[in-house]
Amino acid sequence: MRDAARLANLEVKYFSAYFHAKTGLCFRDWLAGVRVGRAEEMIRRRDESITDVAYRVGFNDLRTFERAFKRHFGTTPAAVRRAVRNEPRRIARRVMRPNHSST
């Protein structure tokens, strides 16, 4: 938060209060949401380990990352990875199935 406050040219305490007043979120929760959102994209698009993803988006601890991810998405990073790995088969079946609906 210190870096963000400095970039905004505000004292940390004022920045924190201002941010919360404008967004309804504390800066820490907002930042965690941004980080897990980016992590979710990376988990879906890349084969990096979940640990590597957690560190790349700015978490210093895997357990903290997993808790934040689950709090934000309601599921674990590993569950998202498993779902992504199963998607191509489901999509391929849908694409191969002809659409007989009349319009």
pLDDT in tens, 72-91: 999 999 999 988 888 765 54
- What is the distance between the alpha carbons of residues 27 and 37, in angstroms, rounded to a whole number? 15
Instruction: Provide the domain limits for residue 32.
Output: 28-96
- Is residue 43, in this structure, part of any structural domain at all? yes
Q: How many CB atoms lie under 10 A from the CB of residue 21?
A: 8
Q: Is residue 48 part of a domain?
A: yes
Calculate helix-pair angle for 27-45, 62-73, nearest 10 degrees: 90
- Whole-model pTM above 0.85? no
Domain membership of residue 19 (yes or no) is no
Domain count, the chain: 1
How much is the average pLDDT of 40-68? 94
The full DSSP string for 20-45 is HHHHSS-HHHHHHHHHHHHHHHHHHH
pLDDT at 85: 82
Residues sharing a CB contact under 8 Å with residue 13, sequence separation 6 or more, in sequence order: none
Predicted pLDDT at 96: 44
Ranges 46-50, 73-77, 88-92, 93-97: which has the least confidence: 93-97
Q: Is the pLDDT of residue 102 over 60?
A: no
